[in-house]
Amino acid sequence: MKIDGVPHRSIQAEDGAILILDQTLLPWRVEWLRIANAGAAAQAIRSMQVRGAPLIGAVAAYGLALALRDDPAALEPVAAMLGETRPTAINLRWALGRMLTVLRPLPEATRAARAWAEAGAIAEDDVATCRAIGAHGLPLIEAIAAGKPGRPVNILTHCNTGWIATVDFGTALSVVYQAHDAGIPVHVWVDETRPRNQGALLTAWELGAHGVPHTVIADNAGGHLMQHGEVDIVLVGTDRVTRRGDVANKIGTYLKALAAHDNNVPFWVALPHSTLDWAVADGVSEIPIEDRGEAEVTHTTGLLPDGTPGSIRTAAPGSPARNPGFDVTPARLVTGIITERGRCAASEVGLLGLYPERALAA
């Protein structure tokens, strides 16, 4: 996607390093950060300089490749270290698992070059996958648009599922971009997505840069808008989907699904194959939920009155806070799932219909 008209991907591979867009500085500053070793990759993931389930998988893969250049024997410990940086997004473990499967059988002397190539393949896979997700979601938007000629399709989204959360294009926002680029009038309600405000900061920046009409709303506004017929569809991404179709995503997604269910608003989830966790059935009891600590709740970041980015405390002094980073929306509240292979019901039967090789593997 483009920044100021110039095409970019969210990871750029150079000789001996990668460049990542530092998301903790957006939308105030566009800065590329050079990552030259596994420790820096891990820190970028932990600090959320890179974030979004598919992107952290790709960065972890490159981090492992960088480590093997320094020490080809470091495969297992570095993979374990990178795998512990964030707990909920399965894409991280998927990418590292794919790297380990390829690299373990190889002689140490050949691992670094192969690892770099495999990390590149993971990144390319993500680009093609996200483009296909957009194409498979597009008919949903076309169908809604056909029912309200001349009026925009109102899409509500949560967190950031755009090109900066993936290597390119995004997941749920890939659908939005393809609809917009196809000339369908769309308007996006952007949940601010407290506590880190990925919606207000990142999604709004992305949509604005692409010229997609949007409005930032407080997280609590969605239910009201749905009651008044102002939301045609909810489109979100996810960090892990169980084989039964339960969906882990940014905290607050579950409440949007409940409101959508109560108001007969379709609630669709867009994801790449790397977000499917076939080993897990029940999302609520089995998916680990990241706890990011109190500071993100007690404080808010933004532009200070002097125009510099900064953080202010917004909670009463001394009050404790709790900060679960994700929640799980049960499959029964999900209208359907969009992947690079098509659309399906949020169920084991639906998912196996798109990925029949998983049934054979089981």
Ligand X SMILES: CSC[C@@H](O)[C@@H](O)C(=O)COP(=O)(O)O
Chain-centre distance of CA 139, in angstroms? 22
Provide, rounded to whole angstroms, the least separation between the CB of residue 256 and ligand X: 12
Is 115 known as a binding-site position? no
Instruction: Please choose, out of 74-82, 157-165, 261-269, 305-313, the segment that lies near ligand X by the rule CB under 6 A.
Output: 157-165
In the residue annotation, 22 being an active-site residue is answered as: no
Q: In what order do the strands lie in the sheet with 240-242?
A: 276-277, 240-242, 247-250, 326-329
Chain-centre distance of CA 59, in angstroms? 13
Catalytic residue among 126, 168, 219, 239: 239
Q: Rounded CA gap, 360 and 58, in Å?
A: 27
Is 51 known as a binding-site position? yes
Q: Which position among 85, 129, 166, 203 is part of the footprint of ligand X (CB under 6 A)?
A: 166
- Tally Cβ neighbours within 10 Å of residue 271: 28
* By CB under 6 A, residue 52 contacts ligand X: yes
**Cβ atoms 33, 74 nearer than 8 A:** no
Q: Which two tokens stand for residue 161?
A: 């599922």
Q: Whose Cβ is closer to ligand X: residue 51's or residue 194's?
A: 51
Q: Are strands 17-21 and 11-14 parallel, antiparallel or unpaired?
A: antiparallel
* By CB under 6 A, residue 339 contacts ligand X: no
Q: Whose Cβ is closer to ligand X: residue 166's or residue 335's?
A: 166
What is the total residue count of the chain? 362
Q: Which position among 24, 129, 174, 249 is part of the footprint of ligand X (CB under 6 A)?
A: 249
Is 52 known as a binding-site position? yes
Q: Whose Cβ is closer to ligand X: residue 165's or residue 190's?
A: 165
Give the CB-nearest residue to ligand X.
237
* By CB under 6 A, residue 197 contacts ligand X: no
Provide, rounded to whole angstroms, the least separation between the CB of residue 18 and ligand X: 18
* Per-position DSSP letters for 40-88, written without gaps between them: HHHHHHHTTSS-SHHHHHHHHHHHHHHHHHH-GGGHHHHHHHHHTS-SS
Binding annotation for substrate: 51-53, 86, 198, 249-250
Residues of the shown chain interacting with ligand X in the complex, contacts defined by CB under 6 A? 51-54, 159, 161, 165-166, 171, 198, 237-239, 249-250, 325
Catalytic residues: 239
